[in-house]
Amino acid sequence: MKMLIKDFAELCSVSVRTLHYYDEIELLKPSFTDEWTGYRYYNEESLMRMQEIMFYRELDFSLKSIKEILSSPDYDKREALKEQKKLLIMKKDRLERLISSIDSAEKGKIIMKAFDNSEFEKYKDEAKERWGSTEAFKEYKKKTKNCTKGDFETLGDGMDEIMNEFSLCMKKNYVPESEQAQALVKKLQKYITANFYTCTKEILSGLGQMHIYDERFRSNIDRHGDGTAQFISEAVAVYCR
């Protein structure tokens, strides 16, 4: 099987832009790229990997986590499918619980327990820990081993402060190449390294691209101001050149 990127995108129900991004972050590379035309081609192996990626996306794993999992030397595809099936069943059970709770809610009953997703999240975290064995992941687990919920909230607040500084920088009409924006990128890199894992330029570049291509990242960052995610992504790209 040999498919052009447009046909492959249509078969997988994703955009060509998404496949370009997956290629950039080395999550899914084309099986072959014609050096004369630049056309990207995909094969059956590409389709199998895309299927794995889509399963993880359905389970709300970030692209960074998926890349770590699939590139792990300990990754067992057969075992992973079993884990994915269990997670999907847990997700289905929760949805069915929510649907059945609607009748109770219509009668004025309190059904807050139906929203509890802690078991799913706990199992997902455990699965991620089993699959993720990159050095960055190991360092992250070590640094956050004793963190409490409050500690994570504090770390999140610190990250929010930096995102807000980027937003203010943008609103003051500084360009991504400016000294002010570049200083903030360096501050972001140092913050991640100090609190999570060693943030190399390669990792930082991937994060910068996720800020605009991953809807959850973009939406969260743009809370500080429309266009903030795009501004950060462009500033990071300049910094990592």
Q: What CATH architecture applies to the domain 134-241?
A: Orthogonal Bundle (1.10)
- CB count within 10 Å of CB 70 equals 17
Q: Name the DSSP letter for residue 108.
A: T
Q: How far, in Å, CA of 18 to CA of 15, rounded?
A: 5
Non-local CB neighbours of 34 within 8 Å, separated by 6+ positions: 41
pLDDT (tens digit per residue) in 3-27: 999 999 999 989 999 999 999 988 9
3-58: CATH topology: Multidrug-efflux Transporter Regulator; Chain: A; Domain 2 (1.10.1660)
Domain residue spans of the chain: 3-58, 62-133, 134-241
More confident residue, 126 or 64: 64
SS3 174: coil
Asked whether residue 171 carries a pLDDT value surpassing 90, the answer given is: yes
Q: Which pTM value belongs to this model?
A: 0.50
Which residue from 145, 164, 144 is spatially nearest to 229, judged by alpha carbons? 164
27 Cβ contact list (under 8 Å, min separation 6): 53, 63, 66, 67, 70
Q: Report DSSP letters for 13-52, one per residue.
A: T--HHHHHHHHHTTSS--SEE-TTT--EEE-HHHHHHHHH
Q: For residues 216 and 150, which has the higher predicted lDDT (pLDDT)?
A: 150
